[in-house]
Amino acid sequence: MDAPEARIKQKAFELGFQSCGISRAQRHDLAGQRLQQWLDEGMNGPMNYMAANVEKRIDPRLLTPATQSIISVSMNYFTQERQTDPRSPTVAKYAYGDDYHLIIRERLYALLQFIQTEIAPCEGRAFTDSAPIMEKVWAANAGLGWLGKNTCLISHRYGSFFFIGELFVSLSLRPDEPVKARCGACRRCIDACPTGALVAPYILDARRCIACQTIELRDAPDATLLPRFGNRIFGCDRCQNVCPWNSRAVPHNEPALRPNRRMLALLPDEWHNMTEETFADIFRYSAIRRMGFNRMKLLLKELGNHAEL
């Protein structure tokens, strides 16, 4: 019979995950030091939640004490489909389909049920961007990729257009080996960032990041940065689009993440004249609903002062 780790990974693939790896649940002081320095310099910007539960981020056992192993998974969201009109307010690829949080969490719990019934009884909890966890750190520890200069997790096989989730389990599983970083001397992401948010290799100043400005802020975005937004209204893929490793990205075939054709087809006037009812209908299952109708209208107004939408 195959080792439990191999059976877990095979089940993860059957559930639609792109990759799966295992790391040992333990304190990560180096990542903790980097996180604290980033916070001390205020680079988390409006993301005040990043400064909460720092010790739990550093040591996952403080979040779920029984945890011995962390099973990290990725799910491909890359697509070659594009918004119909390049003049329309643009949306990051991750928000083309339905909100990934529920999709990944449900499948992680299906993986947990498999482990509990087919491997060994255990405690477990599933997460995806839903708790104070350094997800990219643990995914890198599990060999899913390396932390790139754009601070994204990059896989030499898949690029970086993928979601991350993790399953904390009370089983002692054999950990995988981290992979070697392969960014080399490349700095395309740093040079391409529209607002200079990548202030140095591996360091993102979220206060300048278009994704943070359009998704995390509740008020108007920074007026000094707006002229560099272009027509971006929800997120920014620039640092990923220019990454050479994403030339290897293959479009996903996951029905649950199929792009929202109504959103892709929206013309500039349809964005500007959209009613609250239409917003709720089109973005009912989308991460864009997090923005809210009033916030969308505010951004459209602000962007309209600096871009031809």
What residues are labeled active site?
Answer: 129
Q: What angle do CA 17, 21, 26 make, to 5 degrees?
A: 135
User: What's the residue count for the chain?
Assistant: 309
Instruction: Write out the two tokens for 98.
Output: 């339905």
State how beta strands 162-169 and 69-76 pair. antiparallel
Alpha carbon of residue 308 to chain centroid: 29
Q: Give 31's contacts (C-beta < 8 A, 6+ positions apart).
A: 58, 134, 137
Question: Minimal CA–CA distance to 163: which of 99, 250, 244, 113?
Answer: 99
The Cα–Cα gap between 134 and 141 comes to 11
* Residue found by looking up tokens 């560099």 in the block: 228
Alpha carbon of residue 84 to chain centroid: 24
Question: Minimal CA–CA distance to 295: which of 89, 93, 85, 88?
Answer: 89
Please state, as a whole number, how many other Cβ atoms lie within 10 Å of the Cβ of residue 194: 17
Sign of CA dihedral 79, 258, 14, 23: positive
Decide if 72 contacts 21 (C-beta within 8 A).
Answer: yes
Sign of CA dihedral 93, 95, 97, 100: positive
